[in-house]
Amino acid sequence: MTKGSGLKATAWALGLAPLFWTSVRFFMDDLGANPIEALLHWAGRWALILLLVGLAITPIRRLTGWNQVIKVRRTVGLFAFFYVTLHFLIYLGLDQGFAWSFIIEDVLDRPFITSGFLGLVLLVPLAVTSTKGWIRRLGRRWQQLHRLVYPAAGLGVLHFYWKVKADTFWPLVALAILLGLLLARSPWRALKKASS
Partner 1 sequence: MLIRKPGKISESEVTPYELYLNRRRFIGRAGRIALLGAIAPSSLAAGDLVPGEAEAATLGPQEDELTPYEDVTTYNNFYEFGTGKADPARNAGTLKPKPWTVEIGGHCERPGDYGIEDIIGRFPAEERIYRLRCVEAWSMVIPWMGFPLKDLLEFVQPTSRAEYVEFTTLYDPDQMPGQRRRVLDWPYVEGLRMDEAMNPLTLMATGLYGKELPNQNGAPLRLVVPWKYGFKSIKSIVRIRLVEDIPATSWNLATPNEYGFFANVNPEVDHPRWSQARERRLGEIRRRPTLMFNGYAEEVASMYDGMDLRRWY
Contact in structure between 7 and 68 (CB atoms under 8 Å) = yes
Residue 183 makes contact with partner 1 by CB under 8 A:
no
Residue span binding partner 1 (CB under 8 A) among the ranges 3-11, 34-42, 143-151, 172-180 = 34-42
How far is residue 134's CA from residue 131's CA, in Å, rounded to a whole number?
Answer: 5
Shortest Å, Cβ 50 to partner 1: 21
Q: CB-wise, 28 or 166, nearer to partner 1? A: 166
What one-character DSSP code corresponds to residue 92?
I
Q: Which of residues 94-123 bind partner 1 (CB under 8 A)?
A: 94, 96-97, 99, 102, 105-106, 110-112
- In the chain, the largest separation of any two C-alpha atoms, in whole Å, equals 59
Residue 27 makes contact with partner 1 by CB under 8 A:
no
Helix (H) or strand (E) segment spanning residue 161: helix 149-163
Residue 30 makes contact with partner 1 by CB under 8 A:
no
Degrees, nearest 5: CA angle 57-62-64: 90
Nearest to 101 by CA among 112, 160, 156, 109: 109
Residue span binding partner 1 (CB under 8 A) among the ranges 3-11, 27-35, 75-83, 145-153 = 27-35
Nearest to 80 by CA among 165, 15, 11: 15
Residue 154 makes contact with partner 1 by CB under 8 A:
no
Site of interaction with partner 1 (CB under 8 A) = 32-34, 36-37, 94, 96-97, 99, 102, 105-106, 110-112, 162-167, 169
